[in-house]
Amino acid sequence: MVLLTLLEFFTGWFMEGIRIKLWDYSRYELNYKGYICLRASILWGIASFIFYMVVYPFLARLISELSGNLFIIAVLTMFYSLVAIDFMYTARYVYPEELINLVPFMRKNR
């Protein structure tokens, strides 16, 4: 829970440094500069516990079953690569000014 809270704090701090504010906990009690609060930290802890106890065993079993099937691994790799590329180009149009210096290869040709 502590590591997730630190990750949330530094992510919020970094994103605000490039003028993007994704969340603001300033209206909640026991917050620190709006980046983190006790309520969200507890919810992150519960979510990580559920992930570790429910989702992770399922994924580990699924990966072990798929580890011998090279075709499925290749298809999943291509799918998630396309999702990542789509995310980058969507971010380019949603936050064009903030990303122009952060991701140089996404600059438009001028």
Residues 32-52 have pLDDT tens digits of 888 888 888 888 889 889 999
pTM above 0.75, yes or no: no
Q: Does 99 have pLDDT greater than 80?
A: no
> Binning pLDDT at 50, 70 and 90, where does residue 87 land?
confident
pLDDT of residue 53: 93
Q: Does 31 have pLDDT greater than 60?
A: yes
Cα–Cα distance for residue pair 76/72, rounded to 1 Å: 6
